[in-house]
């Protein structure tokens, strides 16, 4: 079968070209010819259609082969150009070849024509392919250049789809990107299409196929693909589709999708070309993602710095906790979040915040019941539970049913975990490693802020305690000072009282000595008696004062021993019996034999009993004095009771009688000798023994004095007492 051959003759058209046509037919061509005689006609013919070959007579009447070559160059057209000539010398041939003719054939030797045409057609084919390759290279270069030089990501992607459309001679080009978060649909990053925008290009049937295979996908006819239904395919405005993955070091970033209106048969070269373009696009996307990431990182660093400043703006724990949850939203998204602090083996939620109306109760969780928490505490690293419904580590705590994706981050102070930050999302597969990293930095800052607040609170508490202690001390010092002043005053009063009290008997002594020397001789016996009484009083005063001053220098309880009170009182009674007899008073002792020994200084206790019994005898005119001992097991006390039927004590004097040197009104009429120190000494001794002194009295009826003394501890009781108890 002969091949059609479009031949443009440049010649005098009336001349005979049948020999040439015949020759071509013989060579297996079916020439479709047109003849032009002028430059204008040739230009029109060239614009009208494509020509396989131009056969030009070297000279014509109006035109020439050289002028025709010139015209071809002018319009930059590459068509095989063969000169036909009747006579041609070498020089003409060289001139013609230099002007761009591909060959020349002598009209009288047309046998060369067909081989010349065939060779020129082949050359032409090679030249065309080379040109196309160059064009593709140029377009690929353009893509690389755009990828490398355009900073704005969207502008760059737009330039890329334009270049790819030229490169692939396609009807539509789309760049699809897969978002970072798993499971999210592909995003159309840029599209240039003859058809209305094609969002369905991002549909899983294309993207998943490319994503999973990681190699190009060529669909010659969408009506015949197993990926989608006939009905769906019919609706698409394109029939052929070529998709290549955007791969950078094995990572799949997205896909380049090229579509053609009609069905076609993709050849390997086209698929390779699409892959090359996809590779450049992938690099460009990776680069711009890096830039974005870097920018994001910088923004994040700035945010974290601001967060740190904010967290350090207060030391009040509640405010710090609230700030943490507020600031947290700036770095990691959550539907709800909580801060849990670790104490012993339990986690207690101390702050909670939800961006929705999700309510979570404040809870305390036991660490050994929660595997996901244990993992964090053990590894000291964040943990993501991508989908709580399928992860066996997730244990559903009450109130957390809404949580589908969970991120837990330990809060570390140096190496110590003080708690956890919990992030909850109602969508599964939400949190990424990047979130975990950022949250970890944030958690460290939070831990420091919480620790600072804790230290601050501790310091505040310590300061408050100190303040209380200082106030207490100040108060104690003030009281001690008052006491010291009072003591000082009492001392001064005591000295002046003593001086005063000593002066009375001394003055009396002087008086009676004078009377003895100068007075009435008959009265001398009376003066001597007075002298004796006054001397005795002076002696008693000195003894009492000495006793008192001794008591003021307490010896502590070192000299205390277990004392049998019954025995002691019997001795005192025996000593005072003559005094009672002289005053015609009874003196009776009723003892409780069961009382345990008391703890005390024997001589001092003798003095207590003596003073009380002597007073009772002194201030009683008729009747007598009863002395009792009783015990109080519950209080571990023993009581000495001295009751008389004497003059009694006026209620107004009840408090005064224990004061030093105080002597009751009644003593004046009775002329009872005394110093006013007896009861003061008793009171002092009882206090030193940790005991209690009470008085009940009724004027003209009698008085009762009770002395309560603590019993001796068993271990201090000498063996001689043991049998008695």
Least separation in angstroms between residue 492's CB and ligand ADP is: 20
| Residue nearer to ligand ADP on the CB measure, 647 or 709 | 647
Stretch that binds ligand ADP, among 4-12, 81-89, 386-394, 670-678 (CB under 6 A): 670-678
Stretch that binds ligand ADP, among 518-526, 563-571, 595-603, 674-682 (CB under 6 A): 674-682
Q: Is 678 in the site for ligand ADP (CB under 6 A)?
A: yes
| Residue nearer to ligand ADP on the CB measure, 270 or 544 | 544
Q: Is 545 in the site for ligand ADP (CB under 6 A)?
A: no
578 CB-contact burial (10 Å; exposed 0-12 / middle 13-18 / buried 19+): exposed
Least separation in angstroms between residue 703's CB and ligand ADP is: 4
Distance in angstroms (rounded) separating the CA atoms of residues 197 and 715: 106
The only residue of 34, 663, 670, 688 in contact with ligand ADP, by rule CB under 6 A: 663
The only residue of 615, 629, 645, 683 in contact with ligand ADP, by rule CB under 6 A: 615
User: Angle, to 10 degrees, between the axis of helix 113-149 and the axis of helix 153-168?
Assistant: 170
CB-based closest residue to ligand ADP: 664
| Residue nearer to ligand ADP on the CB measure, 227 or 662 | 662
Q: Tokens 């599209």 — which residue?
A: 191
Residue 558 CB coordination number (10 Å): 6
Least separation in angstroms between residue 675's CB and ligand ADP is: 5
The only residue of 100, 399, 519, 666 in contact with ligand ADP, by rule CB under 6 A: 666
Least separation in angstroms between residue 569's CB and ligand ADP is: 16
Q: Is 667 in the site for ligand ADP (CB under 6 A)?
A: yes
Least separation in angstroms between residue 485's CB and ligand ADP is: 25
The only residue of 403, 453, 657, 685 in contact with ligand ADP, by rule CB under 6 A: 657
Q: How many residues does the chain have?
A: 725
The torsion of the CA quartet 283, 288, 290, 296, rounded to 10 degrees, works out to -160
The only residue of 140, 679, 685, 707 in contact with ligand ADP, by rule CB under 6 A: 679
Stretch that binds ligand ADP, among 83-91, 296-304, 464-472, 667-675 (CB under 6 A): 667-675
* CA 164 remoteness from chain centre: 50
Quote the Cα angle for 275-278-284, to 5°. Answer: 150
Least separation in angstroms between residue 666's CB and ligand ADP is: 5
711 CB-contact burial (10 Å; exposed 0-12 / middle 13-18 / buried 19+): buried
Closest to 204 in 3D by CA, of 173, 170, 176, 244: 176
Q: Is 676 in the site for ligand ADP (CB under 6 A)?
A: yes
Q: Is 675 in the site for ligand ADP (CB under 6 A)?
A: yes
User: Angle, to 10 degrees, between the axis of helix 433-518 and the axis of helix 524-552?
Assistant: 170
| DSSP output for 591-630 | --TTPPPEEE-HHHHHHHHHHHHHHHHHT-SSSEEEEEEE
| Residue nearer to ligand ADP on the CB measure, 404 or 537 | 537
Least separation in angstroms between residue 646's CB and ligand ADP is: 5
| Residue nearer to ligand ADP on the CB measure, 8 or 685 | 685
| DSSP output for 414-461 | TTEEEEEEEEEESSTT---HHHHHHHHHHHHHHHHHHHHHHHHHHHHH
Residues 6+ apart with CB under 8 A from 608: 640, 682, 685, 686, 707
| Residue nearer to ligand ADP on the CB measure, 217 or 616 | 616
- Token pair listed for 245: 């993955």
Least separation in angstroms between residue 572's CB and ligand ADP is: 15
Q: Is 538 in the site for ligand ADP (CB under 6 A)?
A: no
Closest to 63 in 3D by CA, of 52, 72, 76: 72
Residues 6+ apart with CB under 8 A from 100: 69, 72, 73, 81
Helix (H, G, I), strand (E, B) or coil at 582: helix
Q: Is 616 in the site for ligand ADP (CB under 6 A)?
A: yes
Least separation in angstroms between residue 493's CB and ligand ADP is: 16
Q: Is 699 in the site for ligand ADP (CB under 6 A)?
A: no
Stretch that binds ligand ADP, among 96-104, 291-299, 598-606, 666-674 (CB under 6 A): 666-674
Q: Is 674 in the site for ligand ADP (CB under 6 A)?
A: yes
| Residue nearer to ligand ADP on the CB measure, 104 or 708 | 708
Residue 207 CB coordination number (10 Å): 23
| Residue nearer to ligand ADP on the CB measure, 402 or 662 | 662
Q: What is each CA distance from 108 to 39, 314, 576, 610, in whole angstroms?
A: 26, 108, 185, 178
| DSSP output for 460-525 | HHHHHHHHHHHHHHHHHHHHHHHHHHHHHHHHHHHHHHHHHHHHHHHHHHHHHHHHHHHS-GGGHH
Binding mask 633-652 for ligand ADP (x = CB under 6 A): -----------x-xxxx---
Least separation in angstroms between residue 695's CB and ligand ADP is: 8
Least separation in angstroms between residue 663's CB and ligand ADP is: 4
Q: How many C-alpha atoms does 108 have within 13 Å on its Cβ side?
A: 3
Stretch that binds ligand ADP, among 23-31, 87-95, 324-332, 672-680 (CB under 6 A): 672-680
Instruction: List Cβ<8 Å contacts ≥24 apart for 369-375.
Output: 369/395, 370/395, 370/397, 371/395, 372/406, 372/408, 373/347, 373/408, 373/420
Q: How many residues in the shown chain lie near ligand ADP by CB under 6 A?
A: 22
Cα radius of gyration rounded to whole Å, the chain: 63
Distance in angstroms (rounded) separating the CA atoms of residues 493 and 19: 166
Q: Is 505 in the site for ligand ADP (CB under 6 A)?
A: no
Cβ 447 vs Cβ 320: under 8 Å:
no
**709 strand-pairing partners:** 638
Stretch that binds ligand ADP, among 86-94, 322-330, 560-568, 673-681 (CB under 6 A): 673-681
Closest to 533 in 3D by CA, of 494, 498, 504: 504
Contact positions with ligand ADP (CB under 6 A) in 275-334: none
| Residue nearer to ligand ADP on the CB measure, 172 or 648 | 648
| Residue nearer to ligand ADP on the CB measure, 632 or 655 | 655
Least separation in angstroms between residue 609's CB and ligand ADP is: 13
Least separation in angstroms between residue 713's CB and ligand ADP is: 32
The only residue of 54, 447, 703, 709 in contact with ligand ADP, by rule CB under 6 A: 703
Least separation in angstroms between residue 665's CB and ligand ADP is: 7
| Residue nearer to ligand ADP on the CB measure, 266 or 662 | 662
Least separation in angstroms between residue 662's CB and ligand ADP is: 6
Quote the Cα angle for 533-534-540, to 5°. Answer: 90
Bridge pairing between strands 81-85 and 3-10: unpaired
| Residue nearer to ligand ADP on the CB measure, 283 or 647 | 647
Q: Is 624 in the site for ligand ADP (CB under 6 A)?
A: no
Least separation in angstroms between residue 486's CB and ligand ADP is: 20
Q: Tokens 């539509």 — which residue?
A: 172
| Residue nearer to ligand ADP on the CB measure, 456 or 662 | 662
| Residue nearer to ligand ADP on the CB measure, 464 or 490 | 490
Least separation in angstroms between residue 560's CB and ligand ADP is: 25
What does the binding site for ligand ADP look like in residue numbers (CB under 6 A)?
Answer: 615-616, 619, 644, 646-649, 657, 662-664, 666-667, 674-680, 703
């Amino acid at each position: 079968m002969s091949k059609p051959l479009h031949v443009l003759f440049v010649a005098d058209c009336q001349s005979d070209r049948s020999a040439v046509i015949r020759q071509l037919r013989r060579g297996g061509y079916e020439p479709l010819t047109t003849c032009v005689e002028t430059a204008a006609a040739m230009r029109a013919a060239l614009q009208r259609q494509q020509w396989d070959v131009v056969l030009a007579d070297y000279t014509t009447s109006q035109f020439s082969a050289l002028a025709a070559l010139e015209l071809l160059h002018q319009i930059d057209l590459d068509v095989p150009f063969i000169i036909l000539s009747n006579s041609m010398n070498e020089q003409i041939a060289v001139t013609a070849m230099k002007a761009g003719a591909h060959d020349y054939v002598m009209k009288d030797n047309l046998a060369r024509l067909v081989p010349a045409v065939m060779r020129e057609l082949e050359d032409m084919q090679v030249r065309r392919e080379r040109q196309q390759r160059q064009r593709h290279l140029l377009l690929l270069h353009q893509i690389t250049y755009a990828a490398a030089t355009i900073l704005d990501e969207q502008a760059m992607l737009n330039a890329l789809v334009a270049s790819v459309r030229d490169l692939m001679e396609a009807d539509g080009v789309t760049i699809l990107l897969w978002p970072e978060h798993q499971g999210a649909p592909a995003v159309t990053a840029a599209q240039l299409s003859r058809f209305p925008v094609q969002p369905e290009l991002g549909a899983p049937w294309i993207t998943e196929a490319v994503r999973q295979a990681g190699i190009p996908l060529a669909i010659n006819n969408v009506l015949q693909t197993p990926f989608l239904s006939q009905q769906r395919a019919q609706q698409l405005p394109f029939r052929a589709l070529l998709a290549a993955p955007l791969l950078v070091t094995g990572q799949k970033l997205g896909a380049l999708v090229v579509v053609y209106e009609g069905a076609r048969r993709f050849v390997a070269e086209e698929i390779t070309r699409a892959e090359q373009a996809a590779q450049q696009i992938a690099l460009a996307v990776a680069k711009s993602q890096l830039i974005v990431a870097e920018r994001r990182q910088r923004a994040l660093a700035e945010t974290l710095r601001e967060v740190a400043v904010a967290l350090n703006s207060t030391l009040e724990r509640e405010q710090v906790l609230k700030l943490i949850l507020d600031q947290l939203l700036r770095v990691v998204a959550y539907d709800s979040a909580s801060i849990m602090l670790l104490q012993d083996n339990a986690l207690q939620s101390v702050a909670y915040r939800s961006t929705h109306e999700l309510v979570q109760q404040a809870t305390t969780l036991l660490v050994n019941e929660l595997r996901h928490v244990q993992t964090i505490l053990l590894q000291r690293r964040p943990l993501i539970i991508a989908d709580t419904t399928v992860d066996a580590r997730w244990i559903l705590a009450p109130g957390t049913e809404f949580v589908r994706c969970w991120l837990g981050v330990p809060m570390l102070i140096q190496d110590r975990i003080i708690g956890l930050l919990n992030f909850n999302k109602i969508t599964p597969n939400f949190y990424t490693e990047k979130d975990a990293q950022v949250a970890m930095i944030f958690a460290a800052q939070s831990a420091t802020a919480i620790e600072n607040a804790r230290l601050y609170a501790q310091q505040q508490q310590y300061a408050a305690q100190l303040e209380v202690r200082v106030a207490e001390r100040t108060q104690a010092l003030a009281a001690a000072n008052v006491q010291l002043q009072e003591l000082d005053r009492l001392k001064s009063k005591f000295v002046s009282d003593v001086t005063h009290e000593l002066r009375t008997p001394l003055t009396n002594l002087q008086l009676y000595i004078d009377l003895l020397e100068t007075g009435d001789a008959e009265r001398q016996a009376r003066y001597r008696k007075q002298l004796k009484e006054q001397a005795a009083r002076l002696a008693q005063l000195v003894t009492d004062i000495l006793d008192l001053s001794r008591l003021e220098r307490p010896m502590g309880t070192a000299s205390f021993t277990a004392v049998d009170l019954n025995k002691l009182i019997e001795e005192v009674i025996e000593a005072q019996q003559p005094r009672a007899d002289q005053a015609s008073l009874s003196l009776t002792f009723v003892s409780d034999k069961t009382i345990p020994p008391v703890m005390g200084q024997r001589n001092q206790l003798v003095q207590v009993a003596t003073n009380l019994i002597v007073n009772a005898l002194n201030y009683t005119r008729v009747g007598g004095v009863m002395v009792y001992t009783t015990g109080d097991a519950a209080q571990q006390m023993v009581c000495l009771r001295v009751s008389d039927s004497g003059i009694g004590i006026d209620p107004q004097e009840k408090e005064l009688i224990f004061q030093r040197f105080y002597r009751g009104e009644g003593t004046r009429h009775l002329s009872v000798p005394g110093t006013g120190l007896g009861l003061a000494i008793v009171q002092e001794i009882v206090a030193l023994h940790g005991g209690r002194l009470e008085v009940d009295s009724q004027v003209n009826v009698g008085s009762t004095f009770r002395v309560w003394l603590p019993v001796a501890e068993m271990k201090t009781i000498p063996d001689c007492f043991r049998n008695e108890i």
